[in-house]
Structure 1
Amino acid sequence: MIKSLLIANRGEIAVRIIRSCRDLGIHSVVTYSTADKESLAVKMADEAVCIGPAASSQSYLNWRNIIAAACLKRCDAIHPGVGFLSENADFAKETEEAGLIFIGPRPETIALLGNKIIARNTALSCNLPITPGSTEAVLSLKEALATAKTIGYPIILKAACGGGGRGMRIVTKESQLEQALQIAKKEALAFFGDGTVHMEKYLQNPRHLEIQLLSDGQGTVVHLGERDCTVQKNHQKLFEESPTPVLDEKVRQQMCQDSVNLFIKLGYRGAGTVEYLYDNEHYYFMEVNARLQVEHPVSELVSGIDLIKAQIAIAEGKPLGYTQKDVLLRGHSLECRLNGVTAGVIKKLVFPSGPSVRVDTYLREGSTLSSYYDPLIAKIIVYTQNRDESLAVMKRALQEVCVEGIETNLDQQKLILESTMFRSGRFGTDLYERVCPEEEKKSNG
């Protein structure tokens, strides 16, 4: 049994984990950088320990300091949260070698899925559809030209060991390929320490869907339905919802079953997400996120399952205790990410409340939104009986938000929510640039 847990993260996810620990009677120890000394997570946790200066490379990415802190505080386990070290196989391995429980997949699973080329081939071996493209690293311009000619332009080059838009280049014609390949490799090496890239057919305006799963590592795997994460700006998600309004029920069932089959093949343990691109009634495997995701509350609300409590129970070696037929997905959930556009001290902060509204945050009036980390201010989540009700409640919720002292994306989120395209439920990844063209121009210089 886990009696004391160290949280190797910050912000709203650290607060979220602390709350689940309290429910379970687990002693919580949160790590923090000098920039987060006055954070809500530090105030809420049973104990807090400083692991370094503001720069994440010296604090939240410094796994040696984190493991040392866990041992010093006599913790039983480490929860990596989201981002930072949550998909770092070496960190997971070192955690276990230190005699601690890592709340997440096995290190070897993380390592396998961290390479997108290996992940694509694993998905292919499970008969999951993948986008046309290379199943090996693209090592030379000659190989790149040959593959691109086979699958046809436009194509996209992707870092094999990264994400978030880094090491990624879209190529629409042959004359662009050489330069794009060089840039993608350099970016991949700079950001992920590995310059390996692969190539896929570029789907120009697909939906971005993902299946949330739980697996106890003892043979039981369940899915919690899909999330639609299509609304994005520069590959960063803005709105997420479940269920998606456009998916045929037969396709939904097949996508979910494919995801379950993949996790069974992997012998997966813990919470994870299989991501897909959906285009012209077809879906294509993209990657596995071997961790919790920022948008997990959407799945929690439609399923009634606390994903963090489930993660902890699985890490303790407990079976799930239920099968797919016991998972009842009801209603509709919609999440809006309120982000800061500028950093600084928040002079006034009012969040929405009332029926059907949940807010996950770590900030209060007087808090500082740091320039060192992700600009997320809060996740505003609504849960109702259907999508129309969720849209109405989210409109009310965003009208109640007030942030002074820094600039936010609130106005853009309101534009998206009120747009005919979003409300119709029929849109692709170009929605932001179509609804907020002026903001898109500014962000692109």
Structure 2
Amino acid sequence: MAPNRRESSMFHKILIANRGEIACRIARTCRELGIRTVAVYSEADREAMHVKACDEAWPIGPAPARDSYLNIPRILEAARRSGAQAIHPGYGFLSENADFARACDEAGIVFIGPPVGAIEAMGSKSAAKAIMEAAGVPLVPGYHGDDQSPALLADVAARIGYPVLIKASAGGGGKGMRRVDDPDRFREALEAARREARSAFGDDRVLVEKYLLQPRHVEVQVFADSQGRVVHLFERDCSVQRRHQKVIEEAPAPGLDQARRHQLGEAAIAAARAIGYVGAGTVEFIMDSRGEFYFMEMNTRLQVEHPVTEMITGQDLVAWQLRVAAGHPLPCEQADLAIRGHAFEARIYAEDADRDFLPATGTIGHLRTPPSSRHVRIDTGVQEGDEISVHYDPMIAKLVVWDQDRETALRRLATALESFIVVGTTTNVGFLSRLARHPAFAEARIDTGFIDTHRADLLPPVPPINDGQLCAATLHELLRVEQAARERARQSGDITSPWHATTGWRLNTDSHRTLHFFDSARDRDLKVVAHYLDTGFRLDLGQGEHWVQGNLQPDGRLRMQVDGVHQDAWVLQEGRRLSVCMAGHTRDLVIHDPLAAGMDDEIQEGSLMAPMPGLVVAVHVKPGDVVQEGDPLMVLEAMKMEYQISALTDGIVDSVNYSEGEQVTEGAQLLTIRQGE
């Protein structure tokens, strides 16, 4: 039997059955409360941030989630062997899995979440709506009954009026969901929704409801203890979404008066009471243009966006979860809770916004975030060197900002996004920056179709690289070569040797160097002629000239002046690839400069390691082949340029680690060669 929540004291050790930023967040709160933590990790997460954040860590299986983070027996075994009294599931994975909660109870381990019955009650959208209807919680007009015959569902759609929404009864995350505007398309959409629901959830039952035009997604954070007390911690607006998944959340919801806010809170409390809820939960509502709201579903767990609620209430919701799970009462009454200021959360994802927000992969080569303060909070579970793989959600971090009012908080969000830099994978940071500065968003003219409505502004064609970015790339390369030359001179003992000069001196002409870049986003070559001046450089970009000077800061920042105007940039180099980050926007270039290549101490073509991320387009050898120095071994393609990997010495090919058509990361060991016998 599970420990009696009423009689339990605070836990001394808990297991965190999750990974990433939520596992790190839970570990941080536990540390503040003096609770020891146990991490679990897959083979892919052996060196992950959440593993290092906990007091101990236990392996639970291979990289695929079904073999590790969704493997209930292995997680329970880790809890038993580590002596953990409770398991916190975080969100995602097993957080809303009734079987897991039941297994914890049967193992005598506290599940830090709601009772099994509450999870089961809200696990079916249809059953949840029936419960809410009985409790007097407003529902969107529609049908959520057991009769699933196409004819009945079509009749319901006709009765409530088009457009309608078909939704998987057991679903979430936008799967098994179809909007239908025309009765002639209803059967086709129904079959598609059922196929998707059956594939995703093993259950093809659906519900049909009225589709509200220009709706807002507003949700209420609720909390209940085992003594029967229930409070709400106000609402969040999560209307800005892509593919039915949230992008930016804020609290409180803009434009609500106190009467409507009170009604939302009371409806959410009624929903929690109707299912005997205990712990943290979120009641989600859809709101029409008149401010009328209707129940959508209840998430029986902590939400990804919970930090905005924490920022406006000053409460630690994870600490609340731990105390309630241990049998303690809620730390305050409804009257003690108040809204203070305004908060936004932007989800930083490895994804390609220009390709319908497809998830991206890669290795985080460089990660720079805005400094944390009482106004800015970064929740993350990744660090430089981590791989964003295909196995897990591609979230990199949550950027959370707070200030006294919405206008100021939004300005902070836009500014913070400009200094959030990720190199090594495609991210949505540029898209978020455009969203945060969009006039309609600033005026809170938002609904769930916001991104589609403003797609032309938010997802414009990739513009030509601007002069500031090209100046930054050029200045960074010039300063880097100068720095390398000074270091060689220092090590050589002959600091006056002309071989260490980098002044671009030419006989009978001015001192200059020509640099060549390739801009893959626009598929074009760029040439810059850098003329050396007494202070700085005159850069001829072909379309105009600029006078530039600057220096590299210890933190990697490039401080520069362009025509007397001070600007900051981050220029981060991986092999021949330069990522230029300015004002929240990142552009990638490939540098091809024979002079720089000859002076570069980094990995050259011919090394057995990849000089930059790329695609293997040819493999010329196999294990056992005898090669001589200079023989071609492999060809990489990166940024539409080919790099030949050649043998550095005579020897025998010991291993070929990649095949034609495979992607490789910068620094990957491509082949190994051993000396011949």
Q: Choose from 408, 411, 434 the match for 1:415.
A: 434
Tell me how far apart the structure 1 counterparts of residues 56 and 301 of structure 2 sit (CA, whole Å): 24
Shift in Å, 1:204:
2.7
For 1:379, give the aligned amino acid: K
Tell me how far apart the structure 2 counterparts of residues 262 and 58 of structure 1 sit (CA, whole Å): 35
RMSD of Structure 2 on Structure 1 (CA): 1.4
Structure 2 contact 377–399 (Cα < 8 Å) conserved: yes
Shift in Å, 1:138:
4.9
**For 2:142, what is the secondary structure of its paired residue?**
coil
**For 2:217, what is the secondary structure of its paired residue?**
strand
Structure 1 contact 138–197 (Cα < 8 Å) conserved: no
Q: Does 1:44 align with 2:53?
A: yes
Query: Structure 2: where are the runs of 5+ without partners?
Result: 1-8, 352-359, 462-677
Tell me how far apart the structure 2 counterparts of residues 240 and 192 of structure 1 sit (CA, whole Å): 27
Q: Which digits, 9 at most, give the CA deviation of each residue in 1:19-43, with x for residues without a partner?
A: 0110111110011111111111111
How many residue pairs match? The answer is: 442
Which structure carries more helix by proportion? Answer: 1
Tell me how far apart the structure 2 counterparts of residues 136 and 412 of structure 1 sit (CA, whole Å): 41
TM-score normalised to structure 1 length: 0.97
- Could you say which residue in structure 2 is the equivalent of 1:399? 418
**For 2:309, what is the secondary structure of its paired residue?**
helix
Q: Choose from 314, 319, 323 the match for 1:313.
A: 323
Structure 1 contact 217–267 (Cα < 8 Å) conserved: no
Tell me how far apart the structure 2 counterparts of residues 178 and 269 of structure 1 sit (CA, whole Å): 40
Q: Choose from 374, 379, 397 the match for 1:378.
A: 397
Q: Does 1:184 align with 2:203?
A: no
Q: Which digits, 9 at most, give the CA deviation of each residue in 1:319-378, with x for residues without a partner?
A: 114210011221111111111012111111100115410000011111111221111111
Structure 1 contact 415–436 (Cα < 8 Å) conserved: no
Q: Which digits, 9 at most, give the CA deviation of each residue in 1:98-141, with x for residues without a partner?
A: 01000000011100111111111111112111111003145111
Tell me how far apart the structure 2 counterparts of residues 435 and 53 of structure 1 sit (CA, whole Å): 42
Tell me how far apart the structure 2 counterparts of residues 222 and 145 of structure 1 sit (CA, whole Å): 40
- Could you say which residue in structure 2 is the equivalent of 1:426? 445
Which structure carries more strand by proportion? Answer: 2
**For 1:305, what is the secondary structure of its paired residue?**
coil
- Could you say which residue in structure 2 is the equivalent of 1:158? 167
Tell me how far apart the structure 1 counterparts of residues 315 and 262 of structure 2 sit (CA, whole Å): 20
Q: Which digits, 9 at most, give the CA deviation of each residue in 1:263-303, with x for residues without a partner?
A: 12222100000000010221111000000000000001111
Alignment of 1:79-98 (within 5 A): 79-98=88-107
What is the identity percentage for the equivalent residue pairs of Structure 1 and Structure 2?
Answer: 44
- Could you say which residue in structure 2 is the equivalent of 1:296? 306
Shift in Å, 1:218:
1.3
Q: Choose from 128, 131, 139 the match for 1:130.
A: 139
Shift in Å, 1:167:
0.9
Tell me how far apart the structure 2 counterparts of residues 43 and 362 of structure 1 sit (CA, whole Å): 10
Give 4+ residue runs of structure 1 displaced > 6 Å after superposition: 438-442
Tell me how far apart the structure 2 counterparts of residues 72 and 11 of structure 1 sit (CA, whole Å): 23
Structure 1 contact 347–405 (Cα < 8 Å) conserved: yes
Structure 1 contact 29–47 (Cα < 8 Å) conserved: yes
Q: Which has the larger radius of gyration?
A: 2
- Could you say which residue in structure 2 is the equivalent of 1:283? 293
Q: Which moved more, 1:134-143 or 1:8-17?
A: 134-143
For 2:65, give the aligned amino acid: S
Tell me how far apart the structure 2 counterparts of residues 152 and 103 of structure 1 sit (CA, whole Å): 42
Q: Choose from 259, 272, 278 the match for 2:268.
A: 259
Q: Which moved more, 1:362-371 or 1:229-238?
A: 362-371
**For 2:224, what is the secondary structure of its paired residue?**
strand
TM-score normalised to structure 2 length: 0.64
Q: Which moved more, 1:84-93 or 1:351-360?
A: 351-360
Q: Which digits, 9 at most, give the CA deviation of each residue in 1:221-276, with x for residues without a partner?
A: 11110000001111111100011112122111101111112212222100000000
For 1:130, give the aligned amino acid: L
Alignment of 1:4-23 (within 5 A): 4-23=13-32
Structure 2 contact 218–235 (Cα < 8 Å) conserved: yes
Tell me how far apart the structure 2 counterparts of residues 365 and 179 of structure 1 sit (CA, whole Å): 47
Tell me how far apart the structure 1 counterparts of residues 201 and 78 of structure 2 sit (CA, whole Å): 26
**For 2:239, what is the secondary structure of its paired residue?**
coil
Structure 1 contact 211–226 (Cα < 8 Å) conserved: yes
Structure 1 contact 212–273 (Cα < 8 Å) conserved: yes
For 1:189, give the aligned amino acid: R
Tell me how far apart the structure 2 counterparts of residues 52 and 79 of structure 1 sit (CA, whole Å): 19
**For 2:253, what is the secondary structure of its paired residue?**
coil
Query: Structure 1: where are the runs of 5+ without partners?
Result: none
For 2:121, give the aligned amino acid: L
- Could you say which residue in structure 1 is the equivalent of 2:646? none
Q: Does 1:349 align with 2:349?
A: no
Q: Which moved more, 1:107-116 or 1:257-266?
A: 257-266
